[in-house]
Amino acid sequence: MKRILNDLNKNRVWLLMVLPGTIWLLLFSYLPMFGQVLAFKKFRIDPDGFFASVINSEWVGLDNFKYLFSTNDAWIITRNTIFYNLIFIVLGLITAVATAVLLSELINKRLSKIYQTSILFPHFISWVIGSYFVFTFLSTEHGLLNLILGWFHVDPISWYNESKYWPFILVFMSIWKGVGYGSIVYLASIVGIDRTYYEAAMIDGASKWKQIKHVTLPMLKPLMIILTIMNIGRIFNSDFGLFYQVPRDSGSLYGVTNVIDTFVYRGLMNLGDIGMSTAAGLYQSAVGFILVIITNYIVRKVDEDSALF
């Protein structure tokens, strides 16, 4: 016990630094886990308070899960969720690594800082504001794109009623918002690569592309694998703002914009079914956990050093 107290006292500065994040994690990640019991109950509000409501609500077993998967939209929301996340993972990885490599190769470091700030800025913009940016371009009457189409005597497009364009729009917006933040980790890793590797490559006559191919990318490989495994664990979760705010909740676009998160939100708002919403969240977490275990197991079989655990 004395040794533990000494270690705590020795590392008190670092522990204080992580304390806010630890408190946030406990409050918003671990404490709500007790509410998962609602996935197996028919929640009813009790006048004695929330905890009484949880305790006194009727047990319904797996009925909430049956309702979730028996709806006509079950296939659509599952397909959209997995399809979009697979694209986001692949394109997000490629664009983040490519952006980090390009920034690291800039000779003018002041210009590099400007570029970094510019591409990082969208990450801090909420999807509510981002949806208005999109509306500025896609508005049927006054949108910039329809204005440009008018110059070429092309009929205006009702973007918010034409679902065929939205998979591309959503993918573009996701990359636009996430590439800056995603590239930071890879850029930090590139900066930490020992420069003697590049010097040895230049002595051997390696071009800039070969230096990137044979030095930078192999050094980034473990980090790329770890982040990909973590992203696969969230493959059943979606960016709610992207799929709800950007399409402006247009019913004509539900076929390509409705994902599990938006489906649960609409079910909660329209039906007030807390049990079904909790069941969906538990389903997402459970499947994500299983996928992380399976993906990490496969990676460990191929390259044990690159596995997450």
Please report, for the chain, the start and end positions of each structural domain, with discontinuous segments joined by +: 2-59, 63-306
Residue 236 — φ and ψ, nearest 5°?
Answer: -95, 5
**pLDDT, tens digit, 9 for 90 and up, residues 56-98:** 888 888 888 887 777 777 788 888 999 999 999 999 999 999 9
Q: What is the pLDDT of residue 166?
A: 94
Query: Which tokens is 99 given?
Result: 């952006």
**CA neighbours within 13 Å on the CB side: how many for 246?**
24
When pLDDT is averaged across residues 149-172 and rounded to a whole number, the result is 91
Q: Residue with structure tokens 């070969």? A: 210
Q: What is the pLDDT of residue 70?
A: 78
Other CB atoms within 10 A of residue 211 CB? 18
When pLDDT is averaged across residues 5-15 and rounded to a whole number, the result is 83
Predicted confidence (pLDDT) at residue 49 exceeds the cutoff of 80: no
Environment class of 194 (CB within 10 Å of its CB; exposed 0-12, middle 13-18, buried 19+): exposed
Superfamily of domain 63-306: MetI-like (1.10.3720.10)
Q: What is the pLDDT of residue 236?
A: 85
Predicted confidence (pLDDT) at residue 284 exceeds the cutoff of 90: no
Predicted confidence (pLDDT) at residue 307 exceeds the cutoff of 80: no
Cβ-Cβ contacts under 8 Å for 256 (sequence gap 6 or more): 80, 163, 164, 166, 167, 170
Q: What is the pLDDT of residue 24?
A: 92
Mean pLDDT of the chain: 87
User: Taking CA 111 as the corner, what is the angle to CA 107 and CA 115, rounded to the nearest 5 degrees?
Assistant: 115
Residue among 187, 182, 169 at smallest CA distance from 120: 182
CA distance 21 to 292: 23
Q: What is the pLDDT of residue 9?
A: 81
**pLDDT, tens digit, 9 for 90 and up, residues 221-268:** 989 988 888 888 888 888 999 999 999 988 889 999 999 888 888 878
Confidence label for 3 from pLDDT (cuts 50, 70 and 90): confident
Q: What is the pLDDT of residue 160?
A: 92
Q: What is the pLDDT of residue 67?
A: 76
Q: What does pTM read for this prediction?
A: 0.85
Q: What is the pLDDT of residue 101?
A: 92
Q: What is the pLDDT of residue 266?
A: 83
Going from the C-alpha of 220 to that of each of 96, 201, 293, the distances in angstroms are 12, 17, 22
- Between the CA atoms of 155, 158, 162 and 167, what dihedral angle is there, to the nearest 10 degrees? 100
CA distance 11 to 16: 9
